[in-house]
Chains A and B, each alone.
Chain A
């Protein structure tokens, strides 16, 4: 009798264990397409119990995932986030900066107009043509400087938005940490992983899961964004020195400037774009504007204008290289009258064209920084952006490959295979039915025994 009761207990435990298996398999199938879901597995354990038989019981459902793989995925995600955002932003800027007449073609127009004026130095139409081409060049350089400033401003806005987003994600991640610590819920772990991935993609953050089960999130340079159930905030405040946002991680009274440290994620891309790539482009444009003005004026001021006077400028005086691209203007006197265009030699008549020839021949002279011609310097600015864009495209391909590979690994480990789960479901169902029959049989035996007593 007591043996039959043991078998009854065994059957009952078996039904419970198999039902857990059914539940886990069904949950896996239901979440087969849930982003970031890690499949769960239930392990059945033998219950060796005296005196006759053991039985089976199910452990808690186990989440099938690798912390190491998840960490590598986050690193790769941060890298992809950066290369993708950087590539897209550069591509947008490239499209804008090559639209319409470029500076090199506007320079060519100036030299062509100068060439025409050199054969007709007294012709008002030819002189007006030079002034018009100068206006075009100045307008082009001003416009490109404006485009660079606008692109840097847009990156700055995205950085500020990213800081707010990172703060929200860090806070959610800290809450998920608390929930994991409290319940060990696999779903909370999945959520935490997803939040960590988003944070990595945004900031290039690094994560570490410690023995206490808590995830710690740090940024490049070591600033701690999430420490267990506690999250710091990220802020972007305008830096008066640059006019752009300064990124800080704020934890209580402690503020840590991470502007120069964020080297990953889409925010890292925007920082790279704003503070390096486009800052260099802005400097190159300023240098080109300055070299153009000083190069032309060095010749022009020694030439004689139509009335024989000298000392006329082609461009307005510049305070220095910094800001030259935005400040560049055609000299007001020249803009007002092309008679102030100095194409001749002092002491000769108005038909002398030696000055015009000298101005035209600046096209081939290394008057720009680095011993370049002005045309080459103008082309180099766009080509440098193009090179950065080409490198970024390559980086995106590389990072996508790494992410795909890691994604495949994760899918292989943690992904739900519906066939496998349906088989498990069937297996657990049949086992459960078998256990039900055992219970039923024991029940009948017990009934017979009781009747025969």
Chain B
């Protein structure tokens, strides 16, 4: 094969150009930290990474919702704890009032205390979440679920949160759990006790004691369910956090450049470019010398 001087120069120029391209690629990886910047760099890796990113975004969205649901349940538990405590206090006052040694005035004073506790219970049961929704109202969350008489005006609907593409978990309980459908009507019971104490209705007071005991257990039972829901959401949140980390790591493995490897590649590409440029200059000098 004839090797012409033009061919020699073209070959060395092509080698230099190729070395420059490799150096540019290596430099780009070091500066951007990405080994796959565009889909065409590695379509499979790009697709896998972006699928992972998409999944991460959805998991993060779900996780936020779960976190919000968890906070709402914690708020619900707080409200129920207040109600349970109030019911216990009312039962204690009712026990005092059922004592035959108490006179009507003393009972009326107890009735006043119980009325105050009843109103506190109503306040707790009408707790609103930060977005203004009444947490015990079911789906009728824009209006207070318990009116001034303690009657429940909400519905029995509960709210779920999506924890997976095809799974949901409950994040609320309805105030209907505190009505007779769950045992006794807790709020109206408190009102009834207050009235009985104020009216010196000893039989009424005594007959409410068992209901108050039931109410304490009823509210406690609801709290236990809320605690269970919170545990489930805690587990879901933990799983989401782990999944998030796994997905982020997977996406990174697909497209991020290993900085040590990238730096090493850059150094090698730099050396190769230096050598190619040196060879080119030698070839040009040689051809020039031959021509003169």
Binding site for B on A (CB under 8 A): 32-33, 90-91, 94-95, 98, 102, 104-105, 107-109, 111-116, 118-120, 122-123, 125-126, 344-345, 348-354, 357, 360-361, 363-365, 375-376, 379-380, 382-383, 385-390, 392-393, 404, 407-408, 411-413, 415-420, 422
Contacts and interface: CB of A to CB of B under 8 A. Distances in A.
Given A390-B42, A416-B6, 7 more contacts: A91-B38, A94-B39, A115-B161, A123-B131, A357-B160, A386-B43, A386-B46
Pick from A113, A363, A389 the residue with the most CB of B within 10 Å: A363
Nearest to A114: B61
Contacts of A408: 1, 7
A94 B43 CA distance: 12
Nearest to B69: A119
B103 interface: no
A363 B38 contact: no
11 contacts: A112-B57, A112-B61, A116-B64, A119-B65, A125-B131, A126-B131, A352-B157, A379-B54, A383-B47, A411-B2, A419-B290
A418 B168 CA distance: 82
Interface in B131-155: 131-133, 137-142, 154-155
A123 B133 contact: yes
Nearest to A422: B291
A413 B7 CA distance: 11
B60 interface: yes
6 residue pairs, one from A and one from B, having the closest CB atoms: A386-B39, A364-B165, A351-B141, A389-B40, A112-B61, A349-B139
Contacts of A105: 53-54, 57
Contacts of B141: 122, 349-351
Contacts of A404: 14
B6 A118 contact: no
Given A364-B165, A379-B50, A348 B155 contact: yes
A412 B1 contact: yes
Interface of B: 1-7, 10, 14, 38-43, 46-47, 50-51, 53-54, 57-58, 60-62, 64-65, 68-69, 72, 129, 131-133, 137-142, 154-155, 157, 159-162, 164-166, 168, 171, 287, 290-291
B6 A415 contact: yes
Contacts of B137: 349, 351
Contact of B68 (A119, A357, A412, A419): A119
B6 A383 contact: no
Contacts of A360: 61-62, 162
Given A94-B40, A416-B4, A379 B65 contact: no
A91 B39 CA distance: 10
Contacts of A380: 47
Contacts of B129: 120
Given A112-B60, A364-B166, A376-B51, A91 B40 contact: yes
Pick from B42, B57, B64, B171 the residue with the most CB of A within 10 Å: B57
B62 A115 contact: yes
Given A118-B161, A118-B162, A351 B139 contact: yes
A395 to B, nearest CB: 12
Given A115-B65, A115-B162, A352-B159, A382 B131 contact: no
Contacts of B65: 115-116, 118-119
Nearest to A375: B54
B39 A385 contact: yes
B39 A393 contact: no
Nearest to B287: A418
A95 B68 CA distance: 38
A114 B64 CA distance: 11
A248 to B, nearest CB: 33
A440 B230 CA distance: 119
A349 to B, nearest CB: 4
Given A351-B133, A361-B166, A383 B46 contact: yes
A422 B1 CA distance: 19
Nearest to B62: A115
Given A112-B57, A112-B58, A360-B162, A390 B40 contact: yes
Contacts of B139: 344-345, 348-352
B155 A419 contact: no
Contacts of A352: 139, 157, 159
Contacts of B60: 112
Given A351-B140, A357-B161, A418 B291 contact: yes
B145 to A, nearest CB: 10
Contact of B43 (A32, A383, A415): A383
A365 B165 contact: yes
Contact of A363 (B43, B53, B58, B160): B58
B159 A351 contact: yes
Contacts of A112: 57-58, 60-61, 64
A353 B160 contact: yes
Contacts of A120: 68, 129, 131, 133
Contact of B157 (A102, A349, A420): A349
Contacts of A417: 2-6
Contacts of B160: 353-354, 357
Contacts of B4: 411-412, 415-418, 420
Contact of B72 (A115, A119, A345): A119
A95 B168 CA distance: 39
Given A119-B69, A386-B39, A412-B1, A104 B50 contact: yes
B244 to A, nearest CB: 13
Given A363-B58, A386-B46, A393-B40, A33 B162 contact: no
Given A116-B61, A116-B65, A379 B51 contact: yes
A156 to B, nearest CB: 23
Contacts of A94: 38-40
Contacts of B164: 364
Given A349-B141, A417-B5, A418-B291, A119 B51 contact: no
A345 B64 CA distance: 23
B105 to A, nearest CB: 45
B162 A361 contact: yes
Contacts of A411: 2, 4, 6-7, 10
Given A118-B161, A382-B39, A108 B58 contact: yes
B72 to A, nearest CB: 7
B5 A115 contact: no
